[in-house]
Amino acid sequence: MRVRVEQTTLPGIGVRHDVLTGTGHRIGVVSHRDGRRELVVFDEDDPDLATVHLALSDAEAAVLADLLGTSVVLGQLSRLTGANSGGLVTEQVALPAGSGYAGRRLGETKARARTGASIVAVVRDGDIIPSPAPSFRFEAGDSVIVVGTRAGVDGVTAILAESDPDS
């Protein structure tokens, strides 16, 4: 499905990007020249009348982008592993506080060999890092996207929760 996006230059202000949804709604993001951002929802009957204006801080914009981006990736993976998946699941797993893998390489988890599940992406600070290499280093606050059987995903969750992986 193709999504329609319109860009409008706002002289002296910045740029507005509008997404026109399949249900007829118009949602806009105003990017001000000074770096501020606003989320705007327009009236269905009057596309020039904004019914909602939400100013977003940098942190709020990053979290919103992270949530929307992660849900898109998970949705795409879910469609690939739908009803005929043979027990395959896709899940986002947070690297818990106190994980012994913070600062360590993905390859050190040996997650795939130990569980049969694969870490297919990492979400960090609002960015999605697809197909991280074994040399990729985890950081506190990362979330990983795991694909595998229920037991395999649970196994990766347990591995990432280890406080002392060397013991």
Question: Helical H runs in 81-149?
Answer: 111-115
pLDDT of 23: 82
Beta bridge partners of 17: 7, 29
For the domain made up of 76-161, give the CATH fold: Alpha-Beta Plaits (3.30.70)
Angle at 81 between CA 149 and CA 142, to 5 degrees: 65
Check residue 24 and report its DSSP letter.
S
Which residues on neighbouring strands pair with residue 101, listed in sequence order?
none
Residue 101: per-residue pLDDT: 94
User: What pTM, to 2 d.p., does this model score?
Assistant: 0.52
- Is residue 129 classed exposed, middle or buried when 0-12, 13-18 and 19+ CB atoms within 10 A define those classes? middle
Boundaries of every domain in the chain = 4-56, 76-161
Tens-of-pLDDT digits for all 167 residues of the chain? Answer: 567 778 788 888 888 888 888 888 888 888 888 888 899 998 888 877 889 889 988 778 777 776 666 555 555 555 554 444 556 778 888 888 889 999 999 999 999 999 999 998 899 987 888 888 899 999 988 999 898 888 998 999 999 998 888 87
Instruction: Give pLDDT, residue 62.
Output: 72
Neighbour order of strands in the sheet with 127-130: 88-94, 143-149, 118-124, 127-130
Scan for tokens 């395999």, then name that residue: 152
- Residue 56's H or E segment, with its range, is strand 50-56
Question: What does the pLDDT read at residue 47?
Answer: 76
